[in-house]
Amino acid sequence: MKALQITGYGEIAKNVEIREVENPRIEDDQVLIEVHAASINPVDYKIIEGAMRNIQKLSFPAAIGFDVAGTVKDKGTNVSDFNIGDEVFARVPTHSPGTFAEMVAVDHQAVCQKPSNLSFVEAASIPLVGLTSVQAFQKANLKAGNKVLIHAGSGGVGSFAVQYAKAQGAYVYTTTSTKNVEWVKDLGADRVIDYKKEDYREIAKNVDVVYDTLGGNYTKEALEILKQGGRVVSIAGDPDNETAKELGLNGLIRFLMKLKRFKLDQLVKDKNAYYKFVMMHADGAQLNDLKELIENRYISAIIDQEYPFSKAIDDLEHVKNGHTKGKVVLNMKLS
């Protein structure tokens, strides 16, 4: 079969290539999925560039890709919840990537039946951004009526998170550029802030929850606009100490992170707030909850671009260049 593989750390174009490899062998708890579509996420190019090597060092050549939609071609002896021919989608476990390929073996507990109202391309856009948002808002204990700020409402994560937070009954502030304001309003945001013309800190005040998708100064600024006792959940800021331990980072790296996080920790203490860096994990049961929301029309798949597998490198470069509206997806069935 054909599969995209990472050959080394560095520039995308120089360190990934499509190769002929053997079909994966499934274990007793896995299903073999024929890949129809796989979406690109920022974590993919960050892995290629080596930004994640302190967390998980690769042995080359290495598989790549975490989101998938396709059909079940085979299953292990312990799998009773799926049948050959089922249309499914999944975010594969972090330790076993490989969805940028014609076939992928996946633990059945990470897999879910595909929403009936989505195409394979649309379904492939959902798992990582969907599970990231669900797990972040669970950590934040999001409730109906909460005021929540979601940065970058037109991006892959943001466009999903806006819809999900509204489905939970929250009042949603989000930020975007001038050209995307009306488009993001249509996603359901209550107040769309044009960051080119407005200062979000003057508009989103005393919020209950900030979903930090940008990191940097935005993480500290989240504490400034947060109400006393509010919650900040981040997928881009500095890991809290508990998460750093869960990632298996050594004591020296955790100490350096704590020094870097000093001002943030002080702001958290002053606000009596909750701060959590969220590392998403694969979860087929949570995908099933999202499937119901999608089939009941609370959430739509947002596709920015669709590429054939032969253009996978261009696909990765497109995501790295940023400013996408929704997700970028590899369609394995396009020539």
Q: How many Å apart are CA 308 and CA 6, to the nearest integer?
A: 18
Evaluate if pTM is beyond 0.85: yes
Burial 110-141 (b: 16+ CB within 10 A, else e): bbbbbbeebbbbbbbbbbbbbbbbbbbbebbe
Q: How many Å apart are CA 161 and CA 211, to the nearest integer?
A: 9
243 φ/ψ angles, rounded to the nearest 5 degrees: -65, -40
pLDDT at 335 over 70: no
pLDDT band at 251 (very low <50, low <70, confident <90, very high): confident
pLDDT score at 244: 74
- Which of 61, 63, 113 is closest to 83 using CA atoms? 113
For 152-188, what is the HEC assignment? Answer: CCCCHHHHHHHHHHHHCCCEEEEEECHHHHHHHHCCC
Residue at 112: amino acid letter: C
CATH classification number, 2-126+301-331, choose in 3.40.1350.10, 3.30.465.10, 3.40.50.970, 3.90.180.10: 3.90.180.10
pLDDT score at 53: 87
Percentage of the chain with pLDDT > 70? 100
From edge to edge, which strands make up the β-sheet containing 171-176?
A: 191-194, 171-176, 147-150, 207-212, 226-234, 274-277
Parse the chain into domains and list their residue ranges.
2-126+301-331, 129-277
What fold characterizes domain 129-277? Rossmann fold (3.40.50)
pLDDT score at 322: 81
Q: How many Å apart are CA 35 and CA 158, to the nearest integer?
A: 26
Kindly report, residue by residue over 252-302, the tens digit of the pLDDT.
778 787 877 888 889 899 999 999 999 999 999 999 999 999 999 999 999
pLDDT score at 261: 82
